[in-house]
Amino acid sequence: MFRSLIESLKEWKRREKRKPLVLKGARQVGKTWLMKEFGKQEFEEYVYLRFDRKDETEKIFSGGLRAEKIIDAIKLRTGKKLIPGKTLLIFDEIQESSNAIMSLSVFGEEAPQYHVIAAGSLLGLRIHRGNAFPVGRVEFMTVYPLDFKEFLHACGEKRLISLLEEKKAIREKFKDRYMDLLRMYYYVGGMPEAVNAYAKSKDVRLVRCIQESLLYSYELDFTKHMDETAASSVSNLWHEIPCHAGRDRSGFGSFPSSELHWLVDSGLAYVIRRSVPEKKLFVRGKDESEYKVFMLDVGLMGAMLGLNARLAVYGNRLFGEYQGVLTEQYVFQQLQGNEGEISYWVPSTAGGKVDFVLEKRDEMVPVEIALDSCNEKFPGGLKAFCNQYKPETAVRISESEVYVKDWMVNIPLYGIGIKI
């Protein structure tokens, strides 16, 4: 399986002044696989320690939190040499051990020559913050479900990926193939287990079984971390999100409610705020009721909505199904890997909206989804935004091919990763 985050991990490895790295993300997005694959590709060997097995791993810290003692204990326990620059040290499920969490800062301060990477439950890591977490002494990267390009890789469609960077005329010959695969991505989503199953078997029933199993395991987490009453409230909200995803204010009341806050902390939901303009700069809205909610994964959303596999096979009706919530979820998911904040914009007067605004330093890029075939007009919100703020780039996402008009670049749904 190909994950683009491997390149970011390589950059981290090459840096002289690096800190121990923590991969964060929801459960089952592939953090463990990514760490091991990175170890295989970039190091002579890796040492893997999993801290939910306390009877084994807590002995590592019996000599105290000193780097020399910890390294000696790891060597003794694993029988492996730890050679700086040649061995990757992997700490998994670190949320289960305060000692493991604190040892990250010890490595950073006392043994920076070692490459140490860790991962754990996003909720567990957040619980440790402000308590035993070494704030400022570690680096973070977020692991998301596979995006559409990574899905194409998994399906063996590397040629289609390279074509995305080539001329419009070449891409158009393969548009039907792109759209077929995009419909299937809507159904399968980006959870690694589901993608692997589809890539190997093309069995959509197996994919749905995996998705339902993942959803059930997340529900079990609710009862693991809270009492029955609270778990029931979180579960009820969790099941409402697919019906309201991407809608302004979303019908969830003021954020953060404790239930929504829990889902966000666990990585199962994401909240973006309404941008408040100030000249050409943007800050997040201060009105806590101004927000949109999205899910972890478009495939899981489809499973919760009961999306029929036939919609993923026949015709393009799928893209506008459920009032376009699947498409807005898909676009949000593809934008997550970008640097900077994601927000949205609604003008103070009537005249449309902008589905997403990418905020990168002094640059703001409005992104609007337009599920129509008209190539000659701006969506209302995008036009209003361009007239008012005159951004260097404005993006319209539709089923049409790439074209440039005035301040606006149109990009096809399947080509969000195209470099303009």
List the domains of the chain with CATH numbers. Answer: 5-142 (3.40.50.300), 148-415 (no CATH)
Long-range Cβ contacts of 372-379 (<8 Å, 24+ apart): 372/398, 373/398, 373/399, 373/400, 375/400, 375/403, 375/410, 376/405, 378/408, 379/352
| 269 beta partners | 295
> What is the distance, to the nearest Å, from the Cα of residue 290 to the centroid of all Cα atoms in its chain?
22
Q: Give 223-244 pLDDT, tens digit per residue.
A: 887 888 999 999 999 999 998 7
- If one compares 378 and 30, the residue with the highest pLDDT of the two is 30
Return the SS3 of 324: helix
Q: What is the mean pLDDT of the chain?
A: 85
Task: Name the β-bridge partners of 356.
Answer: 367
Predicted confidence band at 284 (pLDDT cuts at 50, 70, 90)?
Answer: very low
Identify the helix (H) or strand (E) that includes residue 199: helix 192-201
Tell me which H or E stretch contains 360.
Answer: strand 354-360
pLDDT top residue among 267 and 323: 267
Burial of residue 9 (number of CB atoms within 10 Å: 0-12, 13-18, 19+): buried
| Residue pLDDT, tens place only, 291-340 | 899 999 999 999 999 988 887 777 667 777 676 889 999 999 999 987 77
Measured CA to CA, the distance from residue 127 to residue 163 in angstroms comes to 44
- Per cent of the chain over pLDDT 90 is 51
123: Cβ contacts below 8 Å, ≥ 6 apart: 95, 221, 225, 262, 265, 266, 267
pLDDT at 10: 97
State the pLDDT confidence band at 419, using cuts at 50, 70 and 90: low
Q: What backbone torsions phi and psi does residue 236 show, to the nearest 5 degrees?
A: -60, -45
Gap between the Cα atoms of 175 and 121, Å rounded:
39
**Cα(3)–Cα(310) distance, integer angstroms:** 28
Closest CA to 20 of 197, 145, 138, 147: 138
Residue 136 backbone phi and psi in degrees, to 5: 85, -5
What are the pLDDT digits (tens) for 139-169? 999 999 999 999 999 999 999 988 887 766 6
Q: In the predicted model, what is the mean pLDDT of residues 96-117? A: 93
- Cα separation, 341 vs 356, in Å, equals 10
Q: Between the CA of residue 328 and those of 129, 136, 153, 391, 419, what are the distances in Å?
A: 32, 35, 23, 22, 21
Which of 250-264, 274-288, 348-362 reaches the highest mean pLDDT?
348-362
Give dist(CA 52, CA 152) in Å, integer: 34
